[in-house]
């Protein structure tokens, strides 16, 4: 999470973006708005304020190019106000394979959904053109996943979020 003044945030950004592709996301966004995949355009590890970044926003997968300094100034509106934050995380390249979501009613799984971005995209939102495929809970492709989730993970998750399971 980015805190502090512009200079400390800039220093942090320069250090992180020089090492690998990053994801910067505002904490107020939804559906991919304000979530940016950021990497140095030319692949150089020598990064300065004038280094050009390749930026892709998850909301619609559009691409922009800005210098580090321009992007940092652009991000200022994400950190304004009491709840303003900009979260930095490592980019996970397998996101292009999509994500699985297990829909629940209380402690009971009801459906498995595979959210797959469009080719060349990173966003799994419907607005970005992602495809959603629903699966039954007993689909053989997910037997091990669901067994581990229901029998190992869920009994640990429910008490942490303040709910007790029926088991």
DSSP the chain: ---S-HHHHHHHHHHHHTTS-EEEEESS--TTTTEEEEEETT--S---TT-EEEEEETTT--EEEEEHHHHHHHHGGGS-STT--EEEEE--GGGGG-EEEEEEETTEEEEEEEEEPPTT----SGGGT-EEEEE-TT-GGGHHHHHHIIIIIHHHHHHHTT-----
Band of residue 81 on the pLDDT scale cut at 50, 70, 90: confident
Q: If you average pLDDT over residues 90-95, what whole number do you get?
A: 90
- pLDDT for 100 beyond 70: yes
pLDDT number for residue 2:
56
Contacts of 68 (CB under 8 A, 6+ apart): 10, 13, 14, 17, 47, 48, 49, 50, 51, 53
Of the pLDDT bands very low, low, confident and very high (cuts 50, 70, 90), residue 155 is very high
DSSP bridge pairs for 134: 113
State phi, psi for 100 to the nearest 5 degrees. Answer: -105, 140
| pLDDT tier, 125 (very low <50, low <70, confident <90, very high otherwise) | confident
Q: In this model, does residue 5 exceed pLDDT 70? A: no
> 10 versus 148: which is more confidently predicted?
148
Mean per-residue pLDDT, 15-41 = 85
Question: Does 1 score more than 60 pLDDT?
Answer: no
pTM of the complete model:
0.75
Rounded to whole angstroms, the Cα distance separating 16 from 92 reads 15
Region of poorest pLDDT, from 53-62, 122-131, 145-154: 122-131
Q: Which residue has the higher pLDDT, 132 or 88?
A: 132
Is a pLDDT exceeding 90 seen at residue 163?
no
């Amino acid at each position: 999470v980015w805190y502090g003044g512009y200079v400390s945030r800039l220093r942090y950004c320069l250090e992180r973006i020089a090492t690998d592709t990053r994801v910067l996301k505002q904490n107020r966004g939804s559906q991919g708005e304000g979530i940016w995949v950021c990497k140095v355009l030319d692949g150089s590890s020598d990064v300065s304020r004038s280094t050009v970044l390749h930026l892709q926003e998850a909301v619609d997968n559009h691409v922009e190019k800005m210098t580090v300094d321009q992007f940092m100034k652009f991000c200022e509106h994400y950190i304004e106000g009491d709840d303003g934050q900009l979260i930095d995380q490592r980019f996970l390249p397998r996101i292009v394979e999509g994500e699985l979501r297990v829909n629940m009613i209380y402690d009971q799984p009801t459906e498995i959904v595979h959210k797959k971005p469009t080719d060349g995209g990173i966003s799994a939102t419907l607005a970005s053109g992602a495809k959603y495929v629903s699966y039954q809970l007993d689909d053989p492709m997910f037997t091990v996943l669901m067994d581990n989730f229901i029998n190992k993970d869920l009994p640990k998750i429910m008490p942490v979020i303040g709910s007790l399971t029926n088991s």
